[in-house]
């Protein structure tokens, strides 16, 4: 079995999978979510096979309390150890947001890998420390298992050099100050699953919009990433729930030099107090903003849609056209009003949204005459991680650039 750990800043998703050889017949036996928003612990089992997870175990999960990610990890460990038939976990797979320039594929984790990943904490301060904390805990809990790191950055290593470059002095670029891109596991899932769902090949020129608490876009050419909106860190690109997205570097210098904010204060402003929350003063959740009557909430949504459409236009130019636009992520896959507003901005291009299909969150949401095919696909990073882990050969323990 493969245990998948996908940690966020205020939640922890997990999945337990079985797999046959070479990653075939991957089956999810159990998956769940632990969150600790506003000091309220919530341990929910979102899918399970009754032969694996008894009803009593679901009740045990709902009664567990935790307030931090470390406590959530410990709760998950205790819960897994209560299985009547103890699952033999051969691999534990972790979502690691930032792999830097070291890794372009999943790797087995050892102390050398941990050292390199810890050095990347400043590039993903909301995610990297929490993920590595989980690695430490589960390596102790499952010492006989193989532990695998799957990177959000790895998928974008295919981008041409021009798309990975900042206009900075060469010595800085050589030291890794470059564009990396993120949400790679989500984009990899779309590339893997969409052709099977469509019973054919993935369209040649595709733009995928991963719109959730974090948000980014990716341009795919024949299933390969050629450009994306996030760059050196997950802070760049589109405005997000609490992250600012793209901002003039001089504005950051101004906050530091003229307004006398400390480095930690500026980091907090840009990562946790900006984005849709900062613009609206109401919420960072698109669905809550759509229900709000405040002018600030409307302005936040207008800006969000404006920036998404602006970046889609740029990716269209890079691809020299687009055959399909795929919406995924929490808001992208479940918020029909957001998709409607975005698609309306491209009606001049012949985009035609099927209102009924869009409202029902169906896979194909464009009308037949639409010049661009439109799709709505719920991503599954845990499934993608399990497949990558299952496919990882012991002979390929470390793939470095």
- Render pLDDT for 282-327 as a digit per residue (tens, 0 to 9): 999 999 999 999 999 999 999 999 999 999 999 999 999 999 999 9
**102 pLDDT tier (thresholds 50, 70, 90):** confident
* Domain ranges (residues) in the chain: 2-177, 200-381
Strand 324-328: give its sheet, edge to edge.
224-228, 215-221, 205-211, 324-328, 373-376
Write the DSSP string, 231-280.
-SSTTSSS--SS---S--HHHHHHHHHTS---HHHHHHHHHHS-HHHHHH
- Residue-level pLDDT at 331: 96
- The encoded tokens of residue 330 equal 């929490």
Spot the catalytic one: 110, 152, 236, 293.
152
Using CA atoms, how far residue 244 sits from 25, 208, 240, 330, in Å, is 41, 20, 6, 18
Each as own residue / partner, the long-range contacts of residues 128-133 (CB below 8 Å, 24 or more positions apart, any chain) are: 128/96, 128/97, 128/98, 130/7, 130/8, 130/9, 130/69, 131/5, 131/7, 131/94, 131/95, 131/96, 131/97, 132/96, 133/69, 133/70, 133/73
Residues of the chain with pLDDT > 90, as a percent, come to 80
Q: Is 152 a catalytic residue?
A: yes
- Residue-level pLDDT at 401: 37
Q: Lowest mean pLDDT: which of 30-44, 61-75, 90-104, 221-235? A: 30-44
247: closest CA among 232, 264, 226, 227?
232
Q: Is 200-381 the same fold as 2-177?
A: yes
The highest-confidence range among 73-87, 114-128, 201-215, by mean pLDDT, is 201-215
pLDDT mean over 241-251: 97
**393 pLDDT tier (thresholds 50, 70, 90):** low
- Residue-level pLDDT at 397: 41
Secondary structure class of 120 (helix, strand, coil):
coil
Specify the higher pLDDT residue, 20 or 310: 310
CATH topology of domain 2-177: Nucleotidyltransferase; domain 5 (3.30.420)
pLDDT mean over 200-218: 95
**125 pLDDT tier (thresholds 50, 70, 90):** confident
- Residue-level pLDDT at 126: 81
The values of phi and psi at residue 223, to 5°, are 85, 5
- Give tens-digit pLDDT for 377-387: 999 999 999 99
Average pLDDT, the chain: 92
Does 107 score more than 50 pLDDT?
yes
- Give tens-digit pLDDT for 316-355: 999 999 999 999 999 999 999 999 999 999 999 999 999 9
Architecture of domain 200-381: 2-Layer Sandwich (3.30)
């Amino acid at each position: 079995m493969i245990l998948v750990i996908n940690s966020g800043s205020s939640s922890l998703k997990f999945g337990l999978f079985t797999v046959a050889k070479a990653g075939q017949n991957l089956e999810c036996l159990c998956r769940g979510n632990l969150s600790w928003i506003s000091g309220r612990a919530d341990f929910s089992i979102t899918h399970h096979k009754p032969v694996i997870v008894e009803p009593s175990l679901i009740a045990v999960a709902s009664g567990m309390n935790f307030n931090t990610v470390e406590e959530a990890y410990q709760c998950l460990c205790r819960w897994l150890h209560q299985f009547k038939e103890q699952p033999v976990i051969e691999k534990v797979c972790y979502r690691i947001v930032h792999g830097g320039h070291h890794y372009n594929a999943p790797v087995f984790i050892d102390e050398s890998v941990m050292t390199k990943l810890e050095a990347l904490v400043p590039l993903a301060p909301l995610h990297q420390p929490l993920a590595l904390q989980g690695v430490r805990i589960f390596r102790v809990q499952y010492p006989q298992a193989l532990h695998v790191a799957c990177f959000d950055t790895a998928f974008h290593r295919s981008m041409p050099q021009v798309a990975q470059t900042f206009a900075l002095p060469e010595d800085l670029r050589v030291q890794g100050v470059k564009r990396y891109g993120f949400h790679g596991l989500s984009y990899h899932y779309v590339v893997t699953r969409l052709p099977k769902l469509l019973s054919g090949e993935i369209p040649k020129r595709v733009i995928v919009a991963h719109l959730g608490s974090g948000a980014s876009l990716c341009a795919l050419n024949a299933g390969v990433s050629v450009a994306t909106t996030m760059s050196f860190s997950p802070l760049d690109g589109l405005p997000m729930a609490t992250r600012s997205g793209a901002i003039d570097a001089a504005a950051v210098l101004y906050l530091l030099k003229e307004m006398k904010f400390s480095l930690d204060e500026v980091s907090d402003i840009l990562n946790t107090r900006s984005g849709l929350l900062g613009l609206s003063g109401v919420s960072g959740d698109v669905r809550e903003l759509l229900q709000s009557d405040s002018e600030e909430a409307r302005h936040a949504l207008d800006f969000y849609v404006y920036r998404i459409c602006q970046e889609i236009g740029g990716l269209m130019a890079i691809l020299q056209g687009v055959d399909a636009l795929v919406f995924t992520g929490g808001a992208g896959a479940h918020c029909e009003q957001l998709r409607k507003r975005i698609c309306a901005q491209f009606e001049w291009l012949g985009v035609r949204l099927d209102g009924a299909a869009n409202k029902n969150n169906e896979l194909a949401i464009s009308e037949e005459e639409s010049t661009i095919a439109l799709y709505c696909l719920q991503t599954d990073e845990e499934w993608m991680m399990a497949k990558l882990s299952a496919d990882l050969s012991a002979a390929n323990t470390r793939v470095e650039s």
